[in-house]
Amino acid sequence: MSSNREEPLTFASSSPITVSDQLDNNSYHTDPSSHIGSASNSFQNDTFLSESSASISLDVEFGFSRPEFRLCQLAGTVDLYERHVFVCYKNPSVWPPRIEAAEFDRLPRLLSAAVGARKPDMKRETRLTICEGHDGTETSNGDVLIFPDMIRYRRLTHFDVDTFVEEVLVKNSEWLPGTPEKLKGWYVFVCSHASRDRRCGVCGPPLVSRFKEEIETHGLQGKVSVSPCSHIGGHKYAGNVIIFGSNVNGEVTGHWYGYVAPDDVPTLLEQHIGKGEIVDWLWRGQMGLSSEEQKKFLELRLQLNGETNMESNNKEVAGKQLNGDNITACRSQVDVMSCCQENGDTCCQNTQSTVFPEKIDNPDADERAMKVSTDKKRSSKKLVSRSSSSKGAFTRKVCAMPTWLESWEREDTYAVLAVACAVVSVAVAYSCYKQLS
């Protein structure tokens, strides 16, 4: 995952969802007088349909179409921590449910034990996670990535664990046997720990694949790296994604996203990495902030963007949308004072075509995200709806608060007229009474 490489990393697929390749018409030579070829083709077609049905079943039960997908509030679901350590080790298909307790995987087990034992001595709250590693590649087994330090140590072994933890994580100095390499660019980690939770196992691999496709399609190799990782917390929010990168001030931030679907990947690449803007409705929290600080941070952002009703942040305002053979959920977390209205399969979100900048040079992931863009200051009469696009990516547009004149109802007009008529009637009656007396 080095920024100096010319080709993107390739990750072995660990998805439990498998679909057979299309049948090769030349694979079987059929004889008009024989049914052997047709029987073989029929058998493989049945296998293809069976595996496709199994994939759909897994998606409905554990994947992006599961009933509880996008039902919970996300902001504030990340525990406070200040440093994230990733050790590259094997791949998700062989990870046991709890890597730190694995009997035969000594490196992650001993590293986890050492980090836990020395935590009281560390100046920064540290989280340890496993990411994929392959010998002979840029992410070999034993490589250690540290954020927000943005450094990598090569080829840590179980013999070096105690000295590494002491020198690097406790004393915040360099590990003498190795030389730290400076990391550049953006690093994306997707929880794909299938043996720990089925939801992560079903949702993670498709997200990794979609990230890799978009990175290659838009020429972001060497600028954006993606890797599956082990359990990070919050299985019910799968797909879970963490994005590390530097803003224009050089500050490294680690933002967590939940309920991410493959169609959201272009949005994260364009909006978060390309523009430095947080995708609010998928945002779980940030490294360095407590749960309450995360909620206040999002509340402030929403207020600056014209929203005032944070209590409605966890309301569901849209149903599921059928797109070909895949069922995707279009559920927004924000219902702004009845600003959002459903029209068919639309919600208060705007579909935008993904536009990637030619260069991604340290966009500001915090400060720029706090500014109110001009397109969000337009007339509140315009309700921003979600329209379909080829990628299915969408970002949330917030409608501005209506003025008292725009919210004036017809019934209010009738009530005012009735009161005015009553006043006039009383005045006329009183005038007649005075004349008679």
- The mean pLDDT of 74-90, rounded to a whole number, is 97
Residue 162 CB partners (closer than 8 Å, separation 6+): 114
Sequence length of the chain is 437
Backbone dihedral region for residue 342 (phi beyond 0: left; psi -120 to 50: alpha; all else: beta): beta
Containing 329, the helix (H) or strand (E) segment is strand 326-329
Q: Report pLDDT for 146.
A: 98
Residue 400 CB partners (closer than 8 Å, separation 6+): 306, 376, 377, 378, 379, 380
pLDDT at 215 over 80: yes
Answer with the residue of higher pLDDT: 418 or 67: 67
Q: In this prediction, what percent of the chain has a pLDDT beyond 70?
A: 64
Q: Report pLDDT for 338.
A: 35
Distance CA(198)–CA(239), nearest Å, equals 11
| CB 326, CB 115: distance < 8 Å | no
| CB 86, CB 144: distance < 8 Å | yes
| CB 247, CB 365: distance < 8 Å | yes
Answer with the residue of higher pLDDT: 170 or 333: 170
Give pLDDT tens digits for 296-326.
999 999 998 875 444 444 444 344 333 444 4
- pTM for this model (two decimals): 0.64
Helices (H), 342-409: none
Distance CA(282)–CA(348), nearest Å, equals 15
CA distances from 195 to 10, 78, 198, 230, 271 (A): 22, 22, 7, 10, 32
Chain centroid to CA 295: 17
Q: How confident is the model at residue 74 (pLDDT cuts 50, 70, 90)?
A: very high
Q: To the nearest whole number, what is the mean pLDDT of the chain?
A: 74
- The mean pLDDT of 112-136, rounded to a whole number, is 94
Distance CA(275)–CA(260), nearest Å, equals 19
| CB 418, CB 325: distance < 8 Å | no
Name 351's bridge partners.
Answer: 394
Q: Report pLDDT for 297.
A: 94
Distance CA(313)–CA(292), nearest Å, equals 15
Distance CA(194)–CA(93), nearest Å, equals 8
DSSP E strands in 72-231: the ranges are: 83-88, 126-131, 144-147, 151-153, 181-182, 186-191, 224-229
CA distances from 42 to 24, 30, 38, 46, 165 (A): 13, 12, 6, 6, 58
